[in-house]
A = this chain, B = another copy of it.
Amino acid sequence: MVRQTLIKPDGRELILYARDRIVVTSPVPSPASDPFSPNAHLRWHPLRGEWIAYATRRQHRTYLPPPEFNPLAPGDDPSHPTELPVGQYDAAVFENLFPALTLHAHDAPHVLVPTRDGLGRCEVVVFTQDSHASLGALPLWHIELILEIFSDRYRTLGAYPQIQYVYPFENRGVEVGVTLSHPHGQIYGYPFVPPIPAAELEQQRAHLQEHGRGLMEDLVDRELLAARRVLYEGTDAVAFVPVAARYPYEVWIATRRACPSVADLDERSRADFARALKTVLLKYDGLWNRPLPYVMAWHQAPTDGQPHPEAHLHVELYPPYRMRDRLKFLAGSELGAGVFTADTDPDATAAELRAVAVQIE
């Protein structure tokens, strides 16, 4: 992997990545003409006991792209500047123009509840220059490159003392609110360990203490033994519909043995993890012969300076559909009580996904 860091005219970082070689043949553009000076703060939700991220409204938002305009495509038209320059490279990362968290955060307001600066970083990861591709459709080497990028960002963002958790994710599809169809993910660097990974790490810690073995290792072993919900079984990585799936077509991808973070994958396990991911994403799109929307969440070890022997890298995928033409809505029970209600049997949805044949290479 090669990498080149550039600075956009508005001051934001742009990092280009390629397997072999980077050549930039146009000026580095930005859709924004004003200098980048974001702000954000956190408010303490006193009832739930968690931080809510407030993005300060940008007073001088001078640019709104026309709907047919793709800001994630490479471009060299100064009258419609995109986020990426023209050139030879495979993927790119840049700071989100409208970040929910920023290392520039300052002067958190005084309100009725505790507040703090919304320190952190929100990055966009453009997976490819091809607007019509998708993460799952990329060749294996390219998906491996994306994992190397996640690894690079994990190390880079995790090194900031302000950032305690590095969280790569992808929102895919209008059903989960995505307006840009160009294949891209995001990385949030949070100034705390977020509630969901924190809850998972707590369960993993307790299990490790009690059993001397990793919780996810045990789950993986049991799922492999049960076999019927397994979608991919590789040398180093596995993918399965978990026995207690919350979403009907939920899938987890994990290393067989505990690996704290994406940056701890060696070359072989990264290649196998990429193959597992590609397998699942191709099965998703093959299920109903159309792109399946999903939220893809990467859970790994915090970068909070503490030891995390309990951490075990895994990906959780949440497609919002419960059948071909029906969304699974989160409503009263899920949003107000926190109890997921499932209508479908993970064995059955796993069988559907297992039946989707995929060809890799």
Interface residues of A (CB under 8 A from B): 43-55, 57, 100, 111-113, 165, 167, 169-171, 176-178, 186, 188, 190, 194-200, 202-204, 207, 215-216, 219, 222-223, 226, 243-246, 295-297, 299, 316, 318, 327, 329-333, 335-345
- List, in ascending order, chain B residues with CB within 8 A of A207's CB: 46
Minimal Cβ-Cβ distance residue in B for A246: B52
- Of residues A46, A49, A50, A216, which shows the largest number of chain B Cβ atoms within 10 Å of its Cβ? A46
Which residue from chain B places its CB closest to the CB of A56 in the assembled complex?
B345
Q: Report 23 cross-chain contacts, Cβ distance below 8 Å, ordered by A residue.
A: A46-B244, A47-B203, A47-B216, A48-B196, A48-B199, A48-B200, A50-B339, A51-B339, A113-B243, A167-B332, A167-B337, A176-B331, A177-B331, A178-B331, A190-B337, A194-B337, A194-B338, A194-B339, A196-B338, A295-B331, A295-B332, A316-B336, A330-B330
Chain A, interface SS category: mixed
Q: Which residues from chain B contact A345 at a C-beta distance below 8 Å?
A: 54, 57
B-chain residues with CB within 8 Å of residue A339 when the two chains form the complex: 50-53, 188, 190, 194-195
B45 and A335 contact, CB distance less than 8 A: no
Task: Say yes or no: A48 contacts B203, CB within 8 Å.
Answer: yes
Q: Which residues of B contact A100 (CB under 8 A)?
A: 333, 341
What's the Cα separation between A338 and B46 when bound, in Å? 15
Smallest CB–CB gap between A164 and chain B, Å? 12
**Known contacts A46-B244, A195-B339, then 10 further A-B pairs from the complex at CB < 8 Å, ordered by chain A residue:** A47-B200, A47-B216, A52-B244, A52-B246, A53-B339, A113-B244, A169-B333, A169-B336, A171-B331, A199-B338
Q: Which residues of B contact A316 (CB under 8 A)?
A: 336
Enumerate chain B residues within 8 angstroms of A203, measured Cβ to Cβ. 46-49
Interface pair B329/A177, CB less than 8 Å apart = yes
User: Chain B residues with Cβ under 8 A from A55's Cβ?
Assistant: 341-343
> In the bound complex, what is the Cα–Cα distance between A77 and B296 (angstroms)?
48
Inter-subunit contact A215/B46 (CB<8 Å): yes
Q: How far is the CA of A255 from the CA of B169 in the complex (A)?
A: 40
CA separation between A53 and B343, bound complex, in Å? 9
Chain B's closest residue to A204 (CB) is B47
A327 to B54, CA, bound (A): 17
Q: Is the CB of B46 within 8 A of A219?
A: yes
Query: Residue of B at shortest CB range from A344?
Result: B57
Closest to A54 in B: B342
Chain B residues lying within 8 Å of A47, measured Cβ to Cβ, are: 199-200, 203-204, 215-216, 219
- Expressed in whole angstroms, the minimum distance between the Cβ of A47 and any Cβ of chain B is 5
Which of chain B's residues have a CB closer than 8 A to the CB of A49? 199, 202-203
Specify which of A100, A112, A169, A332 lies most central, judged by the most chain B CB atoms within 10 Å of its CB: A332
CA distance A216 to B45 in the complex (A): 12
A342 to B176, CA, bound (A): 16
